[in-house]
Amino acid sequence: MLKLSVVIPCYNEQKTIKEIVRQVQATGLEPEIIIVDDGSTDGTREILSRMNGVGNVQVVLHQHNLGKGAAVRTGLQHATGEVMLIQDADLEYDPRDYPALLRPIKEGKAKAVYGSRFLGGPRRTMFFWHMVGNRSLTLITNILFNTILSDMETCYKVFTADVAAKLNLKSPGWGFDPEITAKILRQGIRIYEVPISYTGREFDEGKKIGWRDGFTVLWTLLKYRFVQ
């Protein structure tokens, strides 16, 4: 069985962090769980201090809020698995989808797998304009990199350790999704997609991404297609 590293970037997720770890552990895959707290101020860090070193959980702390991309980068640097999986801490994504995400890699069909919210899996309805923004940015990705992704912005990005070693991520914030995608595609690797479930949350429940972040994503796509 492939050794799996689950990287959980975390910022002010006091209400959900214990539950998402429980769900990851309940998959029965015995993954290495690396939680990177990105300067939380709501009590999350106190919870994590009690979880660190228990079972398969490793906690890494950022002293200041550096952004989700920086947290993912730190997590990947600490990961030792053969396969890396990025997991948000907010319960929008369901770890019960792990077997489907890992199957193409286990079967040798892919080195990178994305879980798509738009391929027919069960989902809580999203904000309309978030969907428009997501589809637009995914379309631009497909045009720039000659591919047919349906959900570039998905949290569920899974890839082998050798792919991760070549990413050299730099984007500290929301630009990390397009950066990862651009750098995987520029390695000549085609991304395999599988349908996943999705339970989107409201802003008053802690959802953090906003429409302004779309400009960061667009610039990152253009930069890594034409500049770097």
**pLDDT means over runs of 10, the chain (228 residues):** 95 96 96 98 96 94 95 97 97 96 97 94 67 87 94 96 94 86 94 93 50 72 77
CB distance 217 to 135 below 8 Å:
no
Element (H, E) at 128: helix 128-145
Q: What is the CATH number of the domain that holds 177?
A: 3.90.550.10
pLDDT given for residue 207 in this prediction: 47
**Dist CA 4 CA 131 (whole Å):** 30
pLDDT given for residue 219 in this prediction: 80
pLDDT given for residue 200 in this prediction: 75
Comparing CA positions, the residue from 203, 222, 208 lying closest to residue 155 is 208
pLDDT given for residue 126 in this prediction: 62
Is the backbone of residue 120 left (phi > 0), alpha (psi -120 to 50) or beta?
Answer: left
Q: Could you tell me the residue range of the domain that residue 158 belongs to? A: 4-226
CB distance 175 to 72 below 8 Å:
no
Q: Which residues contact 134 (CB under 8 A, 6 or more apart)?
A: 151, 152, 153
The DSSP letter of residue 189 is P
pLDDT given for residue 93 in this prediction: 96
**How many independent structural domains does the chain possess?**
1
pLDDT given for residue 139 in this prediction: 94
Tokens of 50: 């009690």
Beta bridge partners of 4: 83
